[in-house]
Structure 1
Amino acid sequence: MTGDQPGPPQTRRGLLGALLDRFGHLIRELSKFATVGGLAFLVDFALFNYLASVRHVPPVVAKTVSTVVAATLAFLGNRFWTWRHRQRSHPAREYALFFFFNAVGLGIAVGCLAISRYGLGAIWPGVFQTALADNVASFIVGTGLGTLFRFWSYRRFVFLEPGTPSVPGTSHDRESGA
Structure 2
Amino acid sequence: MDLVKRLYHRFASLVHELAKFGSIGAVAFVLDTAVYNLFLLGLDWGPLTSKVIATTISSTFAYVGNRYWTFRHREQSGLGREYFLFFLLNGIALLFGLLVIGFAKYTLHLHDGLSLNIANILGVGLGTLFRYWSYKKWVFLEATEPIPVELPDSGIRQDR
**1:132 correspondence with 2:120:** no
The residue aligned with 2:156 is none
The residue aligned with 2:84 is 96
The residue aligned with 1:105 is 93
Give me the CA root mean square deviation. 1.2
Offset at residue 59 of structure 1 (A): 0.8
2:128 to 147, 165, 170: 147
For the Cα contact (< 8 Å) 2:73–2:143, is it kept in 1? no
Name the SS of the counterpart of 1:136 in structure 2: helix
The residue aligned with 2:39 is 51
Name the SS of the counterpart of 1:68 in structure 2: helix
1:82 to 70, 77, 83: 70
Matches of 1:50 and 1:35 in 2, distance apart?
A: 23
Matches of 2:144 and 2:107 in 1, distance apart?
A: 46
TM-score (norm 2): 0.88
Q: Which runs of 4+ in 1 moved over 6 A?
A: none
**Seq. identity, %:** 39
| Number of residues of Structure 1 aligned to a counterpart in Structure 2 | 145
Name the SS of the counterpart of 2:108 in structure 1: helix
Offset at residue 163 of structure 1 (A): 3.0
For the Cα contact (< 8 Å) 2:74–2:140, is it kept in 1? yes
Question: Structure 1 stretches of 5 or more lacking a match?
Answer: 1-12, 122-127, 165-178
The Cα offsets for residues 141-168 of structure 1, whole Å up to 9 and x where unpaired, read as: 111111011001001110000239xxxx
The Cα offsets for residues 19-58 of structure 1, whole Å up to 9 and x where unpaired, read as: 1122111110110001001111111111110111111111
TM-score (norm 1): 0.79
Bigger-Rg structure (1/2)? 1
The Cα offsets for residues 2-28 of structure 1, whole Å up to 9 and x where unpaired, read as: xxxxxxxxxxx1111121122111110
For the Cα contact (< 8 Å) 2:63–2:86, is it kept in 1? yes
**1:66 correspondence with 2:48:** no
Letter in 1 for 2:132: F
